[in-house]
Structure 1
Amino acid sequence: MSGSTHHHWTRRSFLKASLASAFLLVGKPAWAQDLIVPPVPEGRLALYNTHTSERLDITYRDPSGQYDPDALNALNHLLRCHYTNRATEMDVRVIEFVNAVDKQLGGDNEIHVISGFRSPEYNRLLVRKRRGVARHSLHLAGKAIDFRIPGVSPNLIKKAALDLKYGGVGYYPRRGFVHLDSGTFRHW
């Protein structure tokens, strides 16, 4: 984190931003209409895909709440299944969740993505190889992202995500990453 002043989101300030942004969603495409988690002020992420070594530093939403379809497509591409090279339309709510956690941690962090979308073939392979991979994972629907942030403890990432009280938060300390999804609020 840089030495500049950063806004640290509290649950209250996050919810205020949510209410304000909910009004901005009128007239948006169908996929944006039912956003539950509202965008935080800056819709920008810096991502690194640990499997493909691709980087993306992108503003996917402007301050007025307008999503950039080209930027969302670029995110879909970066978050594709590395095993089959197939992409899906990622749920913008999980992207906003990752963004909110990043901002909670000061912002401007490079998010190292371990897993975004998983094809059914890749998910079946992981289920066979490892315990703990769900057969009906939200990764299959583009609603989950597993990641780490270099220099930031996964425990701190988990705490920041839990403070937001949104979506699923999985903590994998031995593997060194956190899982976020746009499902109901729960944690493990």
Structure 2
Amino acid sequence: MTEFSSLSMTRRGVLGAFAATTIAAAPTFSNAAGLLRGAGDIRRIRMTSPRTGEKIDTIYWIEGSYIKDAVKEITLFMRDWRTNDVRNIDIRTIDIMAAAHNLLDAHEPYMLLSGYRSPKTNAMLRSRSRGVAKNSRHMKGEAADLRLSSRSVNQMFRAAAACRGGGVGRYSGSNFVHMDCGPVRTWGS
């Protein structure tokens, strides 16, 4: 797979995630509303995969609409690289990832360590680690494990948690942050 470039966000998840981005940058709500109007309505995600060598840089939402082809590219990119199985990635997770990236003001792409996981892959990882959930959101296409070399795990964790869009796990020992679109919760050290 080569670099992707396309155009394409969701209502409640996006509003929460991007409101956090704007409010963090604005001292008052009235200023935040003005920034939202003036910032344009584009959502972008940039990632690399150390396992496959692939890269993606795509706009997946523009002016209130998801771009289907871009979301499909993201889904393919986030496939289980061990089995090549593909499952639709929940757009709420993509929105959380994009909003956290914006909050961090990071210019480098995320390093995707794990997106979708087939049940076979999840069982294998679970047999090797206590930190892998039996019914992991990865198996539902609702989670991603991410790293940025320019930001600490704590910085990434705080940005994702500020979005209040789902679960955020801090894995300092392994140098990554888990983001998912499940219930709002945090864990890890």
- TM-score, length basis structure 1: 0.78
Q: For residues 151 and 175 of structure 1, what CA distance do their matches in structure 2 show?
A: 16
1:9 aligns with 2:22: yes
Report Cα offsets for 1:80-133 as digits up to 9, x if no partner.
Answer: 001100111100000000000000011533110000000000000001111110
Q: For residues 96 and 107 of structure 1, what CA distance do their matches in structure 2 show?
A: 16
Aligned partners of 1:147 and 1:178 also within 8 Å: yes
CA RMSD of aligned residues (A): 2.1
Q: For residues 21 and 87 of structure 2, what CA distance do their matches in structure 1 show?
A: 32
Report Cα offsets for 1:34-80 as digits up to 9, x if no partner.
Answer: xxxxxx94311111012111001111111x11111111111011100
Show the counterpart of 2:183. 184
Q: For residues 149 and 128 of structure 2, what CA distance do their matches in structure 1 show?
A: 26
Show the counterpart of 1:81. 80
| TM-fit CA distance, 1:151 | 1.2
Aligned partners of 1:45 and 1:108 also within 8 Å: no
| Structure 1: runs of 5 or more not aligned | 1-6, 21-39
Q: For residues 149 and 10 of structure 1, what CA distance do their matches in structure 2 show?
A: 23
Q: For residues 132 and 173 of structure 1, what CA distance do their matches in structure 2 show?
A: 13
1:72 aligns with 2:60: no
Aligned partners of 1:170 and 1:178 also within 8 Å: yes
SS at match of 2:120: helix
When residues 8 and 89 of structure 1 are mapped into structure 2, their CA distance, relative to the original with a 3 A threshold, is closer
Show the counterpart of 2:100. 101
Q: For residues 70 and 157 of structure 2, what CA distance do their matches in structure 1 show?
A: 27
Identity of aligned residues (%): 32
Q: For residues 185 and 9 of structure 1, what CA distance do their matches in structure 2 show?
A: 20
Q: For residues 107 and 46 of structure 2, what CA distance do their matches in structure 1 show?
A: 7
| TM-fit CA distance, 1:8 | 5.2
| Count of paired positions | 158
| 1:1-188 aligned within 5 A | 9-10=22-23, 41-62=41-62, 64-188=63-187
Q: For residues 21 and 64 of structure 2, what CA distance do their matches in structure 1 show?
A: 20
| TM-fit CA distance, 1:150 | 1.5
Task: Find runs of 4+ consecutive structure 1 residues off by over 6 angstroms.
Answer: none
Q: For residues 41 and 150 of structure 1, what CA distance do their matches in structure 2 show?
A: 28
| Structure 2: runs of 5 or more not aligned | 1-19
Aligned partners of 2:96 and 2:181 also within 8 Å: yes
